[in-house]
Structure 1
Amino acid sequence: MPHPPFSPAQARAARLRIGLTPDQVVAAMAQLGLYRPAAAVLSWEQGVLAPSETELFALASALWCPVPELMALHPRSLREHRLARQFTADRLAERIGMDAPTYARAEQDHHWAGTNRQTLLLAEALGLEPDQLLRVIRQAGDLDTLLRQAVEGRWKQHTAPLARLVNAPERTVARALRTLHKEHGRFNEAYMGHLVARSDDTRLREIAAERATWLHDLTRRFLALVGQDDGPSS
């Protein structure tokens, strides 16, 4: 599982705000059953390493601050809302009566397929208001559809709708879409190139399979690009 979003600057600010040393932070984390050296806290604050979900939860508790503060974001996705409430994926799955692999796929594929009861329990566990719940469970389908339309057609016209959907600056979304559109175009170029060259069907099937895998991961790739693009517009 990828590391959760994390802000080194916010972590350091939270520690300094309550006047703790790294040694005192790890002592507080140890009381929660998580043992780490003081060097780990410094490496997180310096951005050398990122904490795991379990480490993030313990760090937030030790620093007496909300998890979203250390993530430096307002939760949008299912995973981010889960992290904000300090649930592991397995514990949340158990809480809502869903098997762990099914829940993990819901986060990974950004597609919610829970029953009505599981959806109500999810809203209760994560403290989601009705509009937040709808945004979380509907976002996946809308996002996936718009992204496919963007990479397969004219991406610029999808910038504004996607920016509203993921609550991100349009310039950031535009950069992500431009990158994804180019990546998708390379698959088409490779396929047509081998088709014109009359390559054997094996290679054509390989390219088609690679494209299918890329499309399956499209939403996750897009969110990663949006999350890491903090640079100035060009």
Structure 2
Amino acid sequence: MSAVRRPPALPNQPGPPFDAPAARRLRSALGMGPEHVAHDLRASYGMPYATPDLVRAWEQGAVVPTSPELTALAGVLWCSPGDLIGRPRTLREHRIARGVAPEDVAMAVGLELLPYLDMEEAGDWRGTERQSAVLADLLQLSLPDFVTVTGKEEKLAGLLRGAVTTRWQAHVRQVGKLVPLDRHLLENTLRELHEEYQGRMTATLSWADSPTSAQAQQLGEDFLTRIVTHFWTAIENGNF
């Protein structure tokens, strides 16, 4: 493959998480070769630098498309940008996945464009409760996604670690402020996570002089590292 040349990514427009296998699969389903995709990018989307080698580089994961390139590629492949994006994590990635312009988001939530873009760039959503509700509806955010894109996941993780390592009852109210869920569901979820973690730690103490002690300790640390994932899984399966 020859060297891929293209303009540098535009400022404040890093490429979203790209699903390279999906791009290759969609192209093949249309019976197109990389040369056909490159031609359409040049002819229909004003990308004179688009070559078959660039398309191959995208599909092999060697190069990540910028946001404008991904939007153009989606047009060529007759799909939505979201079909070419891996799991979105940031506010920008969710917006791109839904194919919504930043101007439209800013207008919908009642913000000037530049303040909105600053929040998007910093990953620090500072909207009001009403604006947050509009944002979640516009971008079709699940509650876990909303917590992540508004920068609350780290705080939630800290509260959950405290709940499983100390008294879970003392953290129900604070967790409830971050995630507006049924109190009974929250209580049962925190109790379940607390019991699971404490069970791991009890095993660690019981095996203190055995070769498995270090392994048990690592399991406990891994549990804390993935505490937010465990929380949402427990919430989803919350048939208490």
Q: Indicate whether 1:161 and 2:227 are aligned.
A: yes
Normalising by the residue count of structure 2, what TM-score does the alignment of the two structures yield? Answer: 0.53
Question: Residues 26 and 35 of structure 1 are in contact (CA less than 8 Å); yes or no, is this contact kept in structure 2?
Answer: no
Q: Indicate whether 1:87 and 2:100 are aligned.
A: yes
Identity among equivalent positions (%) equals 32
The answer to which structure has the higher helix fraction is 1
Q: How big is each residue's C-alpha offset from its partner over 1:192-216, in whole Å with a ceiling of 9 and x where there is no partner?
A: xxxxxxxxxxxxxxxxxxxxxxxxx
Structure index of larger Rg? 2
Q: Of residues 154, 160, 178 in structure 2, which corresponds to 1:144?
A: 154
RMSD: 3.3
CA spacing shift, 1:50–1:141, aligned 2, 3 Å: closer
Q: Of residues 63, 70, 75 in structure 2, which corresponds to 1:56?
A: 70
- Unpaired runs of 5+ in structure 2? 1-11, 166-219, 234-240
Q: Distance in 2 between matches of 1:122 and 1:142?
A: 15
Q: Indicate whether 1:112 and 2:103 are aligned.
A: no
TM-superposed deviation, 1:60? 1.1
What letter corresponds to residue 72 of structure 1 in structure 2? G
Which stretches of structure 1, 4 residues or more, deviate above 6 A after TM superposition?
none
Question: Residues 111 and 137 of structure 1 are in contact (CA less than 8 Å); yes or no, is this contact kept in structure 2?
Answer: no
Q: Distance in 1 between matches of 2:70 and 2:29?
A: 18
Question: Residues 112 and 137 of structure 1 are in contact (CA less than 8 Å); yes or no, is this contact kept in structure 2?
Answer: no
Residue in structure 2 matched with residue 46 of structure 1 by the alignment: 60
Matches within 5 A, 1:186-205: none
Q: How many residues get paired? A: 160
Question: Residues 22 and 83 of structure 2 are in contact (CA less than 8 Å); yes or no, is this contact kept in structure 1?
Answer: yes
What letter corresponds to residue 49 of structure 1 in structure 2? V
Q: Distance in 2 between matches of 1:63 and 1:165?
A: 37
CA spacing shift, 1:124–1:21, aligned 2, 3 Å: same
